[in-house]
Amino acid sequence: MTATFCEYKPGLEGIPATKSSISFVDGQKGILEYRGIAIEELTKQGSFLETAYLLIWGKLPSEQQLKEFQNDILYHRRIKYRIRDMMKCCPETAHPMDALQTSAAALGLFYARRALDDPEYIRKAVVRILAKIPTMVAAFHQMRRGNDAITPNDNLDYAANFLYMLTEREPHPLEAQIFDVCLTLHAEHTINASTFSAMVTASTLTDPYAVVASAVGTLAGPLHGGANEEVLLMLENIDSLENVEPFVQNLIANKQKIMGFGHRVYKVKDPRARILQGLAEKLFDQTGHDRYYEMAVELERIIEGKLGQKGIYPNVDFYSGLVYRKLGIPSDLFTPIFAIARVAGWLAHWKEQLAVNRIFRPTQIYTGEHNAPYIPMEER
């Protein structure tokens, strides 16, 4: 079927590019559901791995299914020494997102390709990717500091083990629980840029490691997942409560974007930002006050006053860094952590895409010349 007329929309704004039953966003009401379940419920009652199972396999797991899924993931958490050796060759100054994109693609070197009609291949790929991505992020973090990678701790669950691999210290249960909620909140968000990238790559029927590597590269940009790191850099730059107002004035006067604000779909405060703000407050109640948090709240107040009528409110990237910072996580790991969680959504969309696949190949409006002459070198 060929479309006869279609209006060009920069950034494909408002253009449906797929049908999906994985998640739903109402950007006017600030609603996000995974497989029909509100994120408020999932973060209160579920865990990240339960959520990943829900997103990828379409329904909540039974107790037995969850146990098997958790055990499978635990079994596959280690990474091959050749991957560790390869990661050691990355410069220690490399951004961890670049190291992650490289190591995610490198997984494809080790596992057979393109058995995409084999459900066991799909199941194993899902488990391997979910299991190994956190280990690779933590391994690079250790290696860039001249340490060996910390072996995953079989006594710790998914979230607690990741925090452990960063520090070799078992996290406090509250820290692990808060981190698990952060992962759940970042797991999926309809057809955002990195998920679209995953789907385009998936539609060529390449292997799932290439799908994830392309999505990691897309997530890294400051207009998408990379904004969470930028928010913290911005707060460091602002430095004090008194500087917030002039800082905002200056950005608005120069028509610059304020990181962690605005969204293609949400025209109200992102529901994930609300929950993340609550988590930040919970941590501060336990561990003491944070002036960065005060600055963030003041920034939100001022921007709401100045840009609220345009629908510019905090997005998911605004408060997440404040939570991670309080957990002692360095700011250049914020976006890799987003990737650890979003792998669940990418894999869910990969599976959904394979079931109805047609290669993505949109059209363009050509704006160049026709019948242009070839100018000989000496005449140019």
Ligand X SMILES: CC(=O)SCCNC(=O)CCNC(=O)[C@H](O)C(C)(C)COP(=O)(O)OP(=O)(O)OC[C@H]1O[C@@H](n2cnc3c(N)ncnc32)[C@H](O)[C@@H]1OP(=O)(O)O
Euclidean distance between CA atoms 316 and 66, whole angstroms = 27
Binds ligand X (CB under 6 A): choice among 310, 358, 361, 380: 310
Binds ligand X (CB under 6 A): choice among 258, 279, 323, 341: 258
Three-class SS state of 227: helix
Binds ligand X (CB under 6 A): choice among 76, 124, 172, 224: 224
Which member of 180, 263, 270, 349 is catalytic?
263
**# residues contacting ligand X (CB under 6 A):** 19
Q: Is 189 a catalytic residue?
A: no
Tokens 């509100």 — which residue? 38
Buried b (16+ CB within 10 A) or exposed e, 318-328: bbbbbbbbbbe
Euclidean distance between CA atoms 162 and 171, whole angstroms = 10
> Could you write out the DSSP letters of every residue in 118-131?
-HHHHHHHHHHHHH
Q: Residue 263, interface with ligand X (CB under 6 A)?
A: yes
Contacts with 252 (C-beta within 8 Å, 6 or more apart), sequence order: 306, 307
Q: Is 85 a catalytic residue?
A: no
Contact of residue 79 among ligand X, ligand OAA, none (CB under 5-8 Å per partner type): none
Q: Residue 269, interface with ligand X (CB under 6 A)?
A: no
Q: Residue 316, interface with ligand OAA (CB under 6 A)?
A: yes
**# residues contacting ligand OAA (CB under 6 A):** 7
CB of 324 to ligand OAA, least distance (A): 16
**Token couple for 203:** 């539609």
Contacts with 128 (C-beta within 8 Å, 6 or more apart), sequence order: 76, 107, 111
Select from 34-42, 263-271, 300-308, 365-373 the region that touches ligand OAA (CB under 6 A): 263-271
Site for ligand X in 76-115 (CB under 6 A): none
**Token couple for 140:** 């690079």
Binds ligand OAA (CB under 6 A): choice among 77, 128, 189, 325: 189
Q: Whose Cβ is closer to ligand OAA: residue 189's or residue 349's?
A: 189
Euclidean distance between CA atoms 270 and 316, whole angstroms = 6
Q: What residues make contact with ligand X under the rule CB under 6 A? A: 11, 223-225, 227, 257-264, 307, 310, 312, 315-317
